[in-house]
Amino acid sequence: MLGGSTPEALAARFTAVAHMWVTEGPAERMERAKRKLLMSIASKEPATLNDVAKAIGRGAPAVSRSVDALVRAGLVERTQDPKNRRRLALRLTQEGRDRLASKIAGGSSLRTKLDRLAHSELRAVERAIEILER
């Protein structure tokens, strides 16, 4: 045993560290989902609800509720399609474009944490991953 640690104890420590480094909370998942919606609208502008639903692989009713929240937040505008009055066109507002262009807030991402490590520490992490991948 290394330093008196059993494989069981090492597994428990590794699991705790992994959760500390990569676990996302509800706020992070919500922000990622919001960005995914904004990106799909931006890529199809003027996008329809069906365009967005198809792009993100969700049903139109769920996407409609999410788009409603983005409209209320001032990130998306909904207008009538001039070619088809029954269809709504979705576009990002300037605030929506700014939100999409900004980096994801917060320092909890794994990349941010790894950026803080010294080169020798990064090499040690890389070596540990190589060992665990076997």
The range of the structural domain enclosing residue 88 comes to: 26-102
Alpha carbon distances (Å) from 60 to 32, 33, 47, 79, 82: 19, 15, 13, 17, 21
Euclidean distance between CA atoms 112 and 83, whole angstroms: 46
Euclidean distance between CA atoms 70 and 64, whole angstroms: 10
**pLDDT (tens digit, 9 = 90+) per residue, 65-98?**
999 999 999 999 999 877 777 888 999 999 999 8
Residue 57 corresponds to which tokens in the numbers above?
């692989």
Same domain, 94 and 109: no
**pLDDT (tens digit, 9 = 90+) per residue, 13-22?**
777 777 666 6
**pLDDT (tens digit, 9 = 90+) per residue, 23-46?**
667 777 788 888 889 999 998 888
- Give yes or no for a contact between 52 and 65, defined as CB atoms under 8 angstroms apart: no
**Amino acid in position 106:** G
CATH number of domain containing 56: 1.10.10.10
| DSSP H helices in 1-134 | 7-22, 26-44, 49-56, 60-72, 94-101, 110-115, 119-133
Same domain, 80 and 56: yes
3-class state of residue 5 by DSSP: strand
Same domain, 50 and 72: yes
Widest Cα–Cα separation across the chain: 73
Most confident of 7-11, 34-38, 90-94, 116-120: 90-94
Same domain, 75 and 121: no
